[in-house]
Amino acid sequence: MTTETISAAAAGTWRLGDLTVNRIGFGAMRLTQNGPAFAEGAAPSDRARAIAVLRRAVELGVNHIDTAAFYFSPLRSANELINSALAPYPDDLVIVTKVGPGRDSSGQWMDAATPDQLRGRVEENLRQLGRDHLDVVNLRVQGTASVAERFGALAELREAGLIRHLGLSNVTAEQLAEARAVAPVVCVQNRYGIGSRKAGSDDLLRICGEAGIAFVPFFAIAGKAGETGVADAENDEVLAVARAHGASPAQIRLAWTLQRGPHVLAIPGTGNPEHLAANVAAGALRLSPEELVRLESVGGE
């Protein structure tokens, strides 16, 4: 399929609170280095190319960028790249970041932030992005423990004007309910894709839709391969549907993701300008009911 002239607007829009975004966005995790995300020893990405990809994404209509202060590699920071490439920011650009875990200067993961430490994590994102407030902050959760105290700390920062809207990442339906009792939730960002849907994921997607909350899958293209990238062997059903549309398997995975509901957003990430254009173009693909059934049969984890 032709890709270069297709805008992110082809996927339609959804609202994150009072902010309208095109349903195809961009994930910044893979911008900072060559090879798998967070892999030790990987070479830093080409700075000029990463900046060019970000600018091209906006030219193609992307107005939703997902990032985090812990998206960095030696010599490269996703937030700094976004700031350098796009500031002063377009009025319609929504930057979504996440806090909770952190990495020290050597790249080693640290314990998740306590409620008292979350302000520092939020301020770190503000400094790096050059903003006086953050559009959306997701509390990134590890495990099934209560989120009320930490989400409450972010809600206080929202009341103070440092954050406009709140979301959650890597959560259960129970944690979502707990957070919503504290403050409004505009998005849930969880792992979800063809062949990599965990038990309860479809129920959580439905709950979000009924509540008007955006559901934002990560690793929608990579599936089970996760941070390491796309697996070498693609599923036969995905390949068959891709051939029928003259599209790539990655585009079919994104199209399937978007057709899970009007409230589902996609945030594919890449440092490759050609892959960027192809990902955005996937928002114009429409799969038939029969094709959706075929892809549904791939199953989950």
Secondary structure class of 54 (helix, strand, coil):
helix
The three state secondary structure string of 199-268 is CCHHHHHHHHHHHCCEEEEECCCCHHHHHHCCCCCCCHHHHHHHHHHCCCHHHHHHHHHHCCCCCECECC
Residue 71 known to be catalytic: yes
- Helices of type H across the chain: 47-59, 78-86, 118-129, 148-159, 173-180, 201-211, 236-245, 249-258, 273-281, 289-296
Tens digit of each residue's pLDDT, the chain (301 residues): 556 689 999 999 999 999 999 999 999 999 998 877 767 767 889 999 999 999 999 999 999 999 999 999 989 999 999 999 999 999 999 999 999 998 988 888 888 899 999 999 999 999 999 999 999 999 999 999 999 999 999 999 999 999 999 999 999 999 999 999 999 999 999 999 998 888 889 999 999 999 999 999 998 997 655 555 555 568 899 999 999 999 999 999 999 999 999 999 999 999 999 999 999 999 999 999 999 999 988 865 5
Non-local (6+) Cβ contacts of 152 within 8 A are: 115, 182, 183
pTM of the model: 0.94
Residues, the chain, total?
301
Cα 195–Cα 196–Cα 201 angle in degrees, nearest 5: 115
Given this model, what pLDDT does residue 226 score? 53
Quote the radius of gyration of the chain (alpha carbons, Å): 18
Exposure string for 48-86, b = 16+ CB within 10 A, e = fewer:
eebbebbebbbebbbbbbbbbbbbbbeebbbbbbbbebb
In the numeric block, the tokens 């809600």 are attached to 155
Domains of the chain, CATH where assigned: 21-234+262-282 (3.20.20.100)
Looking from the CA of 144 toward its CB, the CA atoms found within 13 Å total: 3
Choose the catalytic residue: 38, 71, 72, 89: 71
